[in-house]
């Protein structure tokens, strides 16, 4: 069984459209210049702005923190254990969430350089995740 396809809301549609073009795009508040991942409709940093603009980021970053999942309860994920989920500090100052792929979970560490990779999800398309940077 494969992991379920993401649910694409109207709010997140630009994120997923960029991913299908192998681009990582995140929201940035035009008022306070803070980045946001996951998609939101109002900036929680300044609390005032609904002027959130989608901007492409490089996808280069480092592992900020991570967890190794050894026993997944969600359908479609149990077959992939163990796997790594992580918050990634991107070069632009954004923090993004995703899996760290194609790497032994025991080798993942805080500060490890990573780069966005696009995983093909059956029945959906491309999903942004991260792999070890060369």
For residue 1, tell me if it sits in a domain: no
For residue 101, tell me if it sits in a domain: yes
State the CB neighbour count (10 A cutoff) for residue 38: 11
For residue 93, tell me if it sits in a domain: yes
Give the span between the Cα atoms of 110 and 20, in whole angstroms.
29
For residue 2, tell me if it sits in a domain: no
Express each pLDDT in 100-122 by its tens digit: 999 999 999 999 999 999 999 98
Nearest to 95, CA basis, from 69, 43, 59: 59
Determine the structural domain holding residue 100 and report its residue range: 13-132
Q: Which helix (H) or strand (E) holds 97?
A: strand 95-101
For residue 7, tell me if it sits in a domain: no
Domain total in the chain: 1
Instruction: Name the pLDDT band for 49 (thresholds 50, 70, 90).
Output: confident
Instruction: Name the pLDDT band for 1 (thresholds 50, 70, 90).
Output: low
At which residue do the structure tokens 């900036």 appear? 43
Residues 6+ apart with CB under 8 A from 69: 77, 81, 82, 83, 84, 85
The residue-averaged pLDDT of 18-25 equals 98
């Amino acid at each position: 069984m494969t992991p379920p396809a993401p649910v694409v809301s109207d709010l997140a549609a630009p994120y997923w459209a960029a991913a299908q073009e192998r681009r990582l795009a995140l929201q940035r508040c035009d008022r306070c210049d803070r980045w946001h991942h996951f998609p939101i409709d109002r900036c929680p940093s300044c609390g005032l702005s609904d002027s959130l603009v989608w901007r492409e980021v490089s996808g280069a970053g480092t592992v900020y923190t991570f967890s190794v999942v050894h026993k997944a309860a969600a359908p479609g994920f149990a077959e992939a254990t163990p796997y790594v989920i992580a918050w990634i500090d991107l070069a632009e100052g954004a923090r993004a969430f995703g899996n760290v792929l194609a790497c032994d979970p025991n080798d993942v560490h805080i500060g490890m350089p990573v780069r966005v990779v696009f995983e093909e999800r059956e029945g959906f398309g491309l999903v942004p995740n991260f792999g070890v940077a060369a």
